[in-house]
Amino acid sequence: MDRTESMATASRDAGGGSVAPPVDAAVGVGGRFALHALGYSIPAVANRLPYMLGGLTFLGLAVLVVTGMWLDQYYNPDPLAAHASVVYTVTRAPLGAWVRALHYWAACVVLVSIMAHLVYVFRRRSYTRPREVTWWSGVLMLVLVAGLAFTGTVLRADQEGGEALAHAVAAAELLGPLGAPLSRDFAASASLLTRLHNAHVSLLPLLLVATIALHFWLIRHLGINAASEARAVFSAHLRRLAGFGLVGFAALSLLAALFPPALGHRAVEGVEVTKPFWPFLWIYTLENTLGLWGMIIGPAVLIGFLIAVPLLDRGHERPTWLTGLAAALFVALLGALIYGFFAPQMQHIGM
Amino acid sequence: MRGHWVLLLGLLAGVPAAALAHDVGVIRLGVEEAAAGSELEIRGEKLSKNTEFTVVLRGALETHTLGKVRSDSAGAFTLRVVLPAEASPGAYVVRVLAPDGDESARAELRLLPAAPPAPAAESHDHHEAEGGHDAPVEATADPLDLPLDRSPLEWAFVLAISAGSLAGGLTLLRRP
């Protein structure tokens, strides 16, 4: 065994830290990019698909970033020109219809995978000490992804987008000073649509990147919560993740080509004839039941519960009532979402 | 040998001259926004002298010819046009085209709806209108019927990228 190999072996035996060969061993392209740093040890069970939901969510976000940059080349955030620019993107821009469909389906995948990841992490109690901040950063990511989905809907500037914008304004009015950034008077020099476009392409993505960086940092240094003794190398985990990601992208690509998402007619103000983007249908059900306050109370209860979870479960086992409460919330959310799909269309604003 | 250098220098000197063969003219509209169907005065300067130009209104989805005008001996013109009433509101560019079709000058114009906005529309955040396709007055949840025909090249690209991703993914998953 030469000196380099023995150093690497010793480092691995010492507890799975990153393998840092001497500078003269860092040769080739991989060496120059310090890829040997990815050779650290992780639980072998992390190579199972349920443990990869977070990584797959990240890959979905990467697809959204790339397709979003393409779409933004053709998008005009001027309220008078927004809808026409989307029509132009879909009908005339090179690969525009496919890229927009890819963006839509990738958003759907991200929303499903982030929720599945959250449920799986809850099931494994990976939010308990010392991983509370990892959990809370995940909850913040969920909020940011929901914000991106909402602003993305508004940018279409079709009837559904116009109604979503009207709901945002109504929610801002209900929230008083807290809702000021979503009010029309917040910045008289720029329209609300333009400001939501800015939020969609810069503010929210930047916050998301910072939160993802924190999330990854904590996972790297606090480790993956797994009882298994078997170990694997992280670089092999990345390779497997990339494999699933590429197969998923192939499916997404064909889905986008065969089933492009619809675009509605330009928005007509003051009426509600559409239902929201499907991940928000559970809020629509709450609005049907509780009125406009439903769209504030529902998300507040859900986010409040998720934030409280690590504080409510601090023992050796999860309290039965907490498991029951979580299950009840999940069933209620799923039920409200399905009901929202079939519920009669209703007018909420001004009622 | 010396002749080659002279020829080369002559050619190089000709490049900027050729590049400047088309005007970098200026047009002034006086307003940044105007309603469809209203009158607009367009003043052109620093254009080719005694040349006939075509003035068009170009949007994301539609283009309207506003008229033809001839510049004077100073390379200037004044044209009064009526903006097409049927043009959809939105962001447009007024373009002055030389006889060969190249753009000689341009200015941005925001076209407002011809009819006064409905009383409820106190601001334009709700996308009162934009260009292009059928614009129903009544709200509808129905999707637009857009032509989504893809060219064979586009299909080939999509299929190639899908097949490449699938092959790459399966290769990575099969590796131990």
pLDDT digits (tens, 9 = 90+) for B9-54: 655 555 444 444 555 799 999 888 888 888 899 999 999 999 999 9
Interface test with A, best of B62, B88, B111, B130 (most A CBs within 10 A): B130
Furthest CA-CA distance within chain B: 79
Instruction: Assign B95 to helix, strand or coil.
Output: strand
pLDDT at A6: 40
Note which residues in 143-162 of chain B have CB less than 8 A from chain A. Answer: 143-144, 146-148, 150, 154-155, 157-158, 161-162
pLDDT, block means (10 residues), chain A with 351 residues: 40 45 68 89 93 96 98 93 92 93 98 97 95 98 98 95 91 88 81 94 98 97 87 94 97 96 88 92 93 93 97 94 96 96 82 58
pLDDT at A23: 58
Structure tokens at A330: 């999940």
A chain contacts of residue B111, beta-carbon cutoff 8 Å: 80
pLDDT at B13: 54
Cα A189 to chain centroid, rounded: 31
pLDDT digits (tens, 9 = 90+) for B68-119: 999 999 999 999 998 998 888 888 889 999 988 888 999 989 888 875 544 4
Burial B67-96 (b: 16+ CB within 10 A, else e): eebebeeebebebebebbeebbbbbbebbb
pLDDT at B122: 40
| Residues contacting residue B94 through CB under 8 Å, at least 6 positions apart | B27, B29, B42, B55, B56, B57, B58, B66, B106, B107, B108, B109
Task: Name all contacts of A12-16 with Cβ < 8 Å and 24+ positions apart.
Answer: A12/A41, A15/A41, A16/A40, A16/A41, A16/A42, A16/A231
| Phi, psi (degrees; rounded to nearest 5) at B82 | -105, 120
Reported as a pLDDT band with limits 50, 70 and 90, residue B6 is low
Closest partner CB to A80 (pick from B90, B150, B162)? B90
Q: Is the Cβ of B142 closer than 8 Å to some Cβ of chain A?
A: yes
Assigned domain for A92 exists: yes
Closest-CA distance of chain A to residue B24, Å: 26
Assigned domain for A199 exists: yes
Q: From 2.40.30.170, 1.10.3720.10, 2.60.40.1930, 3.40.50.1110, which CATH number describes the B22-134 domain?
A: 2.60.40.1930
Closest-CA distance of chain A to residue B116, Å: 14
pLDDT at B131: 41
Q: Cβ separation of A271 and B139 shorter than 8 Å?
A: yes
pLDDT at B54: 94
Closest partner CB to A81 (pick from B90, B137, B168)? B90
Is A176 or B159 the better-scoring residue by pLDDT? B159
B chain contacts of residue A184, beta-carbon cutoff 8 Å: 123, 125
Assigned domain for A348 exists: no
* Cα torsion through B62, A256, A159, A180, rounded to 10: -110
Q: What angle do CA A103, B134, B59 make, to 5 degrees?
A: 70
Assigned domain for A23 exists: no
Domain count for chain A: 1
Q: Cβ separation of A243 and B170 shorter than 8 Å?
A: yes
What single-letter amino acid sits at A155?
L
What single-letter amino acid sits at B8?
L
Cα A202 to chain centroid, rounded: 15
Extract the runs of DSSP E, i.e. beta strands, from chain B: 26-28, 33-35, 39-45, 52-58, 63-70, 77-82, 90-97, 103-112
Instruction: Assign B151 to helix, strand or coil.
Output: coil
Assigned domain for A351 exists: no
Nearest to A243 by CA among A54, A59, A18: A59
pLDDT at A30: 85
The span from the CA of B120 to the CA of B140, in Å, is: 18
Assigned domain for A91 exists: yes
What is the CATH number for A265? 1.20.810.10
Note which residues in 56-95 of chain B have CB less than 8 A from chain A. Answer: 59-61, 88-91
Per the CB < 8 A criterion, the answer to whether B45 and B104 are in contact is: no
Q: Which helix H or strand E contains A41, and what residues bound it?
A: strand A41-43
Assigned domain for A155 exists: yes
Reported as a pLDDT band with limits 50, 70 and 90, residue B5 is low
Assigned domain for A22 exists: no
- Listed by start position, the domains of chain B span 22-134
As a three-state string, the secondary structure of A200-249 is: HHHHHHHHHHHHHHHHHHHHHHHCCCCCCCCEEEHHHHHHHHHHHHHHHH
Per the CB < 8 A criterion, the answer to whether A74 and A96 are in contact is: yes
First to last CA, chain A: 79
The answer to whether ipTM exceeds 0.90 is no
